[in-house]
């Protein structure tokens, strides 16, 4: 396998109009430097002409290596497909909608070479609608920073760079791509941040809206559990169980007091059953979700199953395809 200095991974979905100017912009930037490189674009089951554009570009540029997935798996599996194929010592990820600027690539590389294992872009002057994009993103970023203690201002920025030894040890599932800095820190990475350009969307529509805030919160629960309790689950399960027992005892004492003071029949008092029942149901749902996260990782990793299926590739060696 011919290793490159830099691999650039771009997950795409319905970016027919964006992919050509984006790739040409990257090629222009890379031509000014002596790095060996590859550009890996992953078509996540687009329904427009994205793959046709990619095939045309691949015929003209050997360094452009597109991958077509069998269907739309989502951004995280598409990103994972590109990362699995990347050979670079440094790996850059960026969005395919032209909102990230290829001119910032040298900035990321230089920052990484200061001694970091990962550098995240910060869209300081973000060109997105406030209420539907920037405001929920701001809330999500602050919540994630508070819970995970990862000092990255803009976790949602797609423009990031990693050292290979860090990113290759991170397994992506669900929609955890937005938590890559958090997962990198858990893997021991030294994380930096640098302001980058951000352009208004020129073509198509955003694939994300305010509804993703709910998914971010649910993914945050998963990441927090994996970071803190994956090897010591008794700490969280035992803690919940302990406070559940305390609450149950308290509710039982209240029921007894009501029986003694107000002469109410205990077996007709719904307080105890409602309280204990609601808590047990809530705990069961949370535990089933967390245990499901562990089981799905065991299922994939024990059998080396990818979370995507490739239909077609271009410009990859047979041993890499």
Within 10 A of 281 (CB to CB), how many other CB atoms are there? Answer: 10
3-state DSSP helix/strand/coil percent for the chain, to nearest 5?
Answer: 50, 15, 35
Q: What's residue 207's pLDDT?
A: 55
Residue 92: predicted pLDDT: 97
- Residue 56's CB is within 10 A of a number of other CB atoms, namely 15
For β-strands 6-12 and 37-43, DSSP reports them as parallel
pLDDT at 138: 81
Give me the count of residues in the chain.
321
- Ranges of the chain with pLDDT below 70: 1, 132, 174-175, 204-214, 226, 228-238, 263-268, 292-293, 295-297, 299-305, 307, 318-321
pLDDT of the residue at 297: 67
Helices (H) then strands (E): counts for the chain: 10, 8
Burial state string for 141-170 with b = 16 or more CB within 10 A and e = fewer than 16: beebeebbebebbbbbbbbbbbbbebbeeb
Q: Which pLDDT score is estimated for 266?
A: 65
pLDDT at 45: 93
The tokens for 220 are 């945050």
- For residue range 5-17, list pLDDT tens digits in order: 999 999 999 999 9
């Amino acid at each position: 396998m011919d290793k490159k200095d830099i691999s650039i991974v771009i997950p795409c979905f319905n970016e027919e109009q964006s992919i050509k100017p984006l790739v040409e912009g990257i090629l222009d930037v890379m031509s000014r430097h002596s790095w060996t490189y590859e550009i890996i674009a992953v078509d996540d089951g687009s329904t427009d002409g994205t793959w046709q554009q990619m095939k045309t570009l691949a015929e003209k540029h050997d360094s452009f290596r597109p991958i077509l997935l069998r269907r739309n798996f989502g951004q995280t599996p598409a990103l994972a497909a590109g990362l699995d194929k990347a050979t670079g010592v440094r790996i850059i990820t960026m969005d395919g909608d032209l909102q990230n600027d290829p001119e910032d690539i040298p900035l990321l590389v230089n920052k990484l070479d200061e001694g970091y294992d990962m550098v995240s872009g910060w869209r300081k002057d973000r060109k997105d609608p406030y209420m539907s994009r920037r405001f929920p993103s701001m809330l999500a970023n602050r919540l994630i920073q508070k819970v995970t203690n990862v000092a990255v201002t803009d976790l949602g920025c797609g423009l990031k760079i990693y050292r290979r030894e860090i990113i290759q040890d991170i397994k992506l599932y669900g929609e955890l791509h937005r938590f890559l800095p958090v997962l990198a820190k858990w893997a021991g990475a030294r994380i930096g941040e640098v302001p980058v350009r951000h352009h208004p969307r020129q073509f198509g529509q955003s694939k994300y809206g305010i509804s993703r805030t709910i998914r971010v919160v649910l993914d945050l629960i998963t990441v927090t559990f994996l970071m803190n309790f994956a090897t010591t689950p008794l700490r969280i399960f035992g803690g919940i169980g302990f406070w559940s027992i305390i609450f149950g005892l308290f509710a039982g004492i209240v029921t007894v007091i009501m029986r003694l003071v107000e002469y109410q029949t205990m077996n007709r008092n719904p307080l105890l059953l409602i309280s204990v029942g609601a808590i047990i149901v809530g705990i069961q749902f949370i535990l089933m979700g967390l245990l499901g996260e562990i089981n799905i990782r065991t299922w994939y990793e024990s059998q080396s199953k990818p979370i995507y299926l490739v239909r077609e590739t271009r410009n990859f060696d047979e041993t890499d395809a």
